[in-house]
Structure 1
Amino acid sequence: MIRILFASLFALVAMGASAFADTRDVYTVSNIEVDETAGSLIEARELAMASARVQGARVLIDRITLAEDRLQSGGLVVDAALADRLSAAVDVQEETAGAGRYKGTLAVVYNPRMVRAHLDGLSVPYVDTQAPKGLLVPLAGSAGLDAAWREALGTGRDETLSPFVTANSPGYSAYSDWLELSPEAGALGARRGILAELSGVDGAWQVTVSTVTAAGTERVGTTPYASSLEVAVDRMVALLDENWKEVSVIRSGERTPATASVRYTSLAEWNTLRGALARSPLISEFRIEAIARDGALVAFSYAGDPPRLQNDLLQRGVSLSENEMGWIVRSAVSPSGEP
């Protein structure tokens, strides 16, 4: 038991570090292009940094809020003063400087506490918790197009609300289920599958997106037409992010207190289940009341109704059911808790 408790303590620290990494991914905006000219190189560089902060803040706010909420608030204006207040650091990805001109590609990291306070002050709902990482399966009508689509997708994305890693294994199809995807998903740390089926012709590409979990396959939607495969990727990511925000955004401050028994067969499974509960955007005030070798008692508050919470956890590979003793949390993936 002592060994299990020490291992659990280590896992708590590890989970905290992982959550920090997830938060940094959401609050980092990379690949911001700047090109400024001034009387001196120092002045040009300062103008470029200020421009990057403003551009990045607009991208970030759009990333974590819904268009309908931004519109209802009258529009979320970002000026240089606000962007400076919200930002934490500016990183240089590439730069060319000289003769009063600064040109480069920058990344800006924003302060979560300041951004949240700003949106809370305006009563604008937001979602800054990432969806479970997905194993993204590129699908296309031919081998040549499949290769081009895979190249455009790259290895994956982290700086998004819907992070994914691109599948390496061949042979998947639009009918692949979680049983088929789960071995590679587990190896790459993914908790769900994402089918991305490309269609169209050069200059007019569309992507039909579906998510795959232990509960089955659910169609997310189809992107607008894109002029290139690179734009098609961006629109696919936007579609996934919008879908995640719509199912995760919390518009009410009301929370329902709850307790649940967590059933597991290994420390790895416990870590997976606890992480899913702690990272759900619907759950707050998560705490462990008691822990044993094969089970734990947890308490938390949740927003929305039980079906919504069940659906959110199922996306993370977690089953939430109820019996005469109360709520039971188990792995929806496998007895070991691994995909």
Structure 2
Amino acid sequence: MTDPTPGAVLRGAVDLSSLRNRPQPPAVGASGQDGVPAADGAGAASVPSLVIDVTDASFPQVLELSRTVPVVVDLWAEWCGPCKQLSPILEKVVTELGGRVVLAKVDVDANPQLAQAFRAQSIPMVVALVAGQPVPMFTGAVPEQQVRDVFAQLLQLAAQNGVTGTVDAGSEESADASDEAPAEPALPPLHAEAFDAIESGDYARAITAYEKALAENPRDADARAGLGQVRLLDRVQGLDLQAVRDAAAAAPRDREAQFAAADLDLSGGHVDDAFSRLLDLFSITPADERRPVRERLLELFGLVGDADPRVLTARGRLASLLF
């Protein structure tokens, strides 16, 4: 974010015209479909929350909202470990700004047109919208202070382009409804321990907590999913991307080198690359040494989701290699 003019920052890099020009879904009450508002054009807008989920269909309303207030777009996926690190930081900073910025969350798996429009080669990817124009912010999980610094630059850029409005998050009616909503059930103790450990960066303790939860209940799907995600976070923390890639390129038969590269591929959103890397390793590994590679593949399949088409394709290739 070094250019003060949003149009110049990404001119020719991101084309949102196909999404901008599609028919907008009808508004419902104070907010549009999917809880996305339309700005009132008078320097203020009403939104159900400062953090909203956005779809391919509702995106035109977000573009319109960005003429009133900067909209930060968080492109993420459920299986993406770094996304889970970054999202709480984004939400915290947006909430503290008190309506001067809105956070729009886009699940790239559910909204492929938006992922393609923003050219999301890896996630998490964060882009801002100012007056309908995309402005690059950053890719990957970054420290909270860096997020704050980039948001400060975004507000300055927005002001230079006349986008200085605010939003009112929720109405009295929605607040009353929220008050009447039943409280969410408390997390099981071991799950709560794992969450606390993840927030403090103690992944080893989180892994232990999830393993205990699975020992108590082998059918605990949430614990199994959480265990896979935190194991990935633990493995990739502190890794140097270029060093890992160089090591993997130099030693295609080195299992640990390929495992590390696949972990970084997956955590960065390069799902097909991660699967292809491990399948290639599986194909050249002696039959009596293949088990660890197969187990790592199955673990990564579980992180992405068995119904994902990329997993189905990779499973098909794995089956052909097995038989």
TM-score by length of 2: 0.23
Q: Which has the higher strand share?
A: 1
* Structure richer in helix, relative to its length: 2
